[in-house]
Structure 1
Amino acid sequence: MELIFGTGNHGKLMMMKDFLEELNVDLIGLDDLAGVEESPEESGSTPLENARMKAEYYYRIFQKPVFSCDSGFYIHGLPEEEQPGVHVRNVGGRRLSDEEMTAYYSGIAHRLGGKCLAEYRNAICLIMNSRERYEYEGADIGGGSFYLVDRAKEQKEEGFPLDCISVDIVTGNYFVEGGQLQCFDSQKEGLLRFFREAMQKTEESLQSGRPEK
């Protein structure tokens, strides 16, 4: 089964390929496809709203099974009006580079005593065909809480700028040192469960003989 992942982020594509390796899917990113000239609107106030907008946009273009994900970033102890939420990369009307993101969020950690608890809240929208759509935003695809710190390690992978200031609570290891493995295991199990259930429901729908609109 060919499945389009609505992202141009190579790092996220490779991570998702690893997560879904045991499923019978051929995962394709946007860089492997022609016909994507504009970016979808991401004006939602929640990760699920943005994931839905992106999946709908790419489905209209390709008319093939496609999914999109979106994240919100939340920092414990930060006032509600300062929470990055779905605007983690956009601050003060500017889209931050990886380096600027690291500097900005390490500065927040410094304000909060050098380290603070943080978490990602993730959402996914999968459109299989004109009838079958599946959405999810459960905690099991978020990866759990971790420490955001003010001392950065060297960044290793483009597209994951906060990994060099994110620290696993149990091991004390930075994510760039492999500290995110426990978070990844949780995300992987949650995403695998989501895709298995969606694919099973789609297959049952097709076998029941219900035609697509």
Structure 2
Amino acid sequence: MKLLYGTANPAKLKHMREMLQGLDIEIIGLKDVDIKVDSIDENGNNPLENAKIKAIAYYKAAKMPVFSCDTGLYIEGLYEKRQPGVHVRRVNGKTLNDEQMIEYYTSIASQLGGTAVAKYKNAICLVMDENSVYEYDGEDISSEKFLITTKVHKMRDKGFPLDSISIDIKTKKYFIDLKANSQDKDERNMAYSFKQFFKKSIY
């Protein structure tokens, strides 16, 4: 089965393909299809609402099964209005590039004493047709708590800039080093949960 992943981010596309290895699914991205979609107003209050907004918009444009994901970043010690939430890249109305994101979030870590405890909350919405819409945002597809540090790793993963300042609490390793070596247990568990979502929704 061919599924359109509602993203033009090559890093996200590669990551999802790796997580879903073993399923009889071919995942293509927005750059692989000839569709026109006006700018989508991701005005949801949480990742699940945004994932659904995007998936429905891309389904209407592509007329094929589509799934979209969304992520919210939540940092301990920040009051609610300053929480990135679903606006991880958008700050004060401005969309940040990768390096600007690193600069912004290291400044937050600095304000919180040099490190900040954070967590990603993830959500997914799959639209098979107009009457079959599946959505999920369980804790098993969200991240464990991790640290955001002011010490920036020299390596970059385009599309995932915060991996250069994010540290796994258990191993004390940067996320980008964990990616370079192998999937850790948390990543494998998340991949399993995403596979289960697709199995229940499609088969």
So what's the TM-score if we normalise by structure 1? Answer: 0.90
Residues 51 and 68, structure 1, Cα contact 8 Å, conserved in 2: yes
Corresponding residue of 2:56: 56
Question: 1:28: which partner in 2?
Answer: 28
Q: What is the DSSP-based 3-state SS (H/G/I as helix, E as strand, rest coil) of the residue aligned with 1:102?
A: helix
Q: Which residue of 1 aligns with 2:199?
A: 196
Task: Report how far residue 141 of structure 1 moved.
Answer: 0.7
* SS state at 1:127 partner: strand
How far 1:93 moved relative to its partner? Answer: 1.4
Pair 1:150 & 2:150 matched: yes
SS of 1:134's equivalent in the other structure is strand
Which residue identity is paired with 1:44? G
Paired residue type of 2:60: R
Structure 1 unaligned spans of 5+: 201-213
Decide whether the 8 Å contact of 1:167 with 1:173 is kept in 2. yes
1:101, CA displacement in angstroms? Answer: 0.5
In structure 1, distance between residues paired with 2:82 and 2:61? 35
CA, structure 1 residues 109+182, in 2 after alignment: closer, same or farther (shift >3 Å)? farther
Q: 2:74 aligns to what SS in structure 1? A: strand
Q: Return the offset for 1:182.
A: 3.5
Larger radius of gyration: 1
Tell me by how many angstroms 1:137 deviates.
Answer: 0.5
Residue matched to 2:188: 185
Q: How has the CA–CA distance of structure 1 residues 4 and 32 changed in structure 2, closer, same or farther, with 3 Å as cutoff?
A: same
Q: Distance in 2 between matches of 1:74 and 1:186?
A: 21
Alignment of 1:61-140 (within 5 A): 61-140=61-140
The amino acid of 1:47's aligned partner reads: P
Change (3 A) 1:165 1:126: same
Rounded to whole Å, the distance in 1 between the matches of 2:37 and 2:83 is: 31
1:40 Cα shift? 1.9
Distance in 1, Cα, partners of 2:45 & 2:147: 24
- Name the aligned partner's letter for residue 200 of structure 2: E
C-alpha distance in structure 2 between counterparts of 1:182 and 1:83, whole Å: 27
Q: Percent identity?
A: 44
Letter of the 1:190 counterpart:
S
Where structure 2 has 5 or more consecutive residues not aligned to the other structure, the ranges are none
Contact 1:155 1:161 survives alignment (8 Å): no
Alpha-carbon displacement from aligned partner over 1:1-57 (angstroms, at most 9, x marks no partner): 011000000000000001111100110000111113433221111111110110000
SS in 1 for 2:156: coil
CA positional deviation for 1:177: 0.8
Give the TM-score normalised by the residue count of structure 2: 0.94
